[in-house]
Structure 1
Amino acid sequence: MLTKVKNYVRDRWPFGHDLDIPPASLVRLMSASGAEPWHLYAIQSRKWRRHVCAACAWLDEALPRNALIFEPGCGSGANLLWLAERGFRRLQGSDLSLEALCLCRDLAELQGRELEVWRDDGMRPLRPPKEADAIISVNWLYHVPGAGLAGFLATYRPTLRAGGLIACDVVDKAYDNVPGNRYHSSDLHLPEARRRPSEYTFRLDAAEVEGIARAEGFRVLRSARFTLGRPPRAVYLLQRVERASTIH
């Protein structure tokens, strides 16, 4: 019971997750890269994005510093840079946005960090990682049209070493009960006829995540729900297991 309480508090403690990047330098590199303004918010408000911080913190706790960690949809590399600040040395990522990757490389150079990032489609990777110790996927998968957790796990399971980890988040199914959840969150002030569909393309509850994980050769090691945000999210730490152990 004490461990559960400790983990609950720590997962929601909003400190220790800022990036050591001077604001003026960040603005300058943002402008030079042409990356979307969202990346500025994601970096400056990082410590308040608890679903992101919890996933990174769990890998920080679970892995040795020489572990290979890969992030599809890495964007500006904020998560990889935080892990680098924690002493991890083998960090890789991919993204479709050349501008975001440019910002990522510039930020890494500013901090004196070594990140290996390249352009690729995270759902259909031409250059997947090899024998990764862990994969982190946050604030990404549920924005991809047609994507799903099962397909993601099936794609990346072969890229993990035996016992490898995936730290990922999903939009919790509780969002289905929030007024206006069918529409894009930026359009809620518009008449319904002018609103776009929600940017959160799928939502899952804990039982669904556990079932999908089991079917794809993973087990859930840890989870946390963050229900106060819009949308509510849940974070999961999954471990690759041998297929035979998923049959009961």
Structure 2
Amino acid sequence: MLTKVKNYVRDRWPFGHDLGIPPASLERLVSASGAEPWHLYAIQNRKWRRHVCVACAWLAEVLPGNALIFEPGCGSGANLFWLAARGFRRLQGSDLSLEALRLCRDLAELQKCEVEVWRDDGMRPLHPPKGADAIISVNWLYHIPGASLAAFLAAYRPSLRAGGLIACDVVDRAYDNVPGNHWHSADLRLPEARRRPSEYTFRLSAAEVESIARAEGFRVRRSARFALGRPQRAVYLLQRVESASQSMWFRGFPPGATGIS
């Protein structure tokens, strides 16, 4: 019980997730790279984006420093930098945006971090990693029209070693009950004729994630649902399994551990 309480509190108070990049340097590099301005917001406010922090923290807790961690859709590399600061040495990422990759490399040089990044399509990778210990995917998949968790898991399962992990987030099915959820959240004050469809292209309940994971050769090792934010999100730690009976334990993460806020 004490472990569950400790995990619950730690997941919801994201201390220690600020990257410590000087604001002036960050603003200069974002501008010079040509990357989308939202990268500035995402980095400066990273410690309050709990779905991002929790996914990274779970991997940091259970993996050794020599683990190979890959992030498709890595953007500016903020998650990789956080992991590097905790001693991880084999960090890779990909993104479609050349500007974001330039920003990532510039920030890596500023912070003296070693990360390997390349241009690739996160949903249809031409150059996926091999033998990764873990993959992290947060804050992008549900923004892609036509994307699905099932397709993502199918695409990256071969990139993981047996027993490898995927830390990912989804927009929770509870968001379907929020008034105006089918409209783009930035357009809710506009007349309906001028509103765009929601930027959150799919939503999944815990039962749906469990079913999809099982069908694609994974099992849920841990989950945390954040019910107070908008949209409501949930984070999952999935483990690749080779058979229905296989089970692998990681310190602190018994099967089925969950948390809800």
CA deviation map 1:92-140 (0-9, x unaligned): 0000000000000000000001110001001000000100000000001
Q: Which amino acid aligns with 1:215?
A: A
Q: Give the aligned partner of residue 163 of structure 2.
A: 163
Q: Kindly, what percent of the aligned residue pairs are identical?
A: 87
Give SS of 1:243's match.
coil
In the other structure, the counterpart of 1:35 is 35
1:61 aligned onto 2:65: no
TM-score by length of 1: 0.98
| Alignment of structure 1 residues 49-198 onto 2, 5 Å | 49-198=49-198
SS at match of 1:176: helix
Partner of 1:4: 4
- Unaligned runs of 5+ residues in structure 1 are none
Corresponding residue pairs, total: 246
Q: In the aligned structure 1, how far is the partner of 2:4 from the partner of 2:188? A: 37
Structure 2 Cα separation of the partners of residues 245 and 207 of structure 1: 20
The separation in 2 between residues aligned to 1:14 and 1:127, in whole angstroms, is 33
Alignment correspondent of 1:227? 227
Per-residue deviation, 1:243: 3.5
TM-score scaled by length of structure 2: 0.93
Displacement after TM superposition at 1:245 (Å): 3.3
Q: Does 1:26 align with 2:26?
A: yes
How far does residue 244 in structure 1 lie from its aligned partner after superposition? 4.3
Provide Cα deviations, 1:61-82, integer angstroms capped at 9, x if missing partner: 0100000000000000000010
Deviates further, 2-11 or 53-62 = 2-11
Q: CA deviation at 1:35?
A: 0.5
- Post-superposition shift, 1:20? 2.1
Q: Residues 14-56 of structure 1, C-alpha deviation per residue, up to 9 Å, x if partnerless?
A: 2100002111100110110011011000000000000000000
Runs of 5+ unmatched residues, structure 2: 247-261
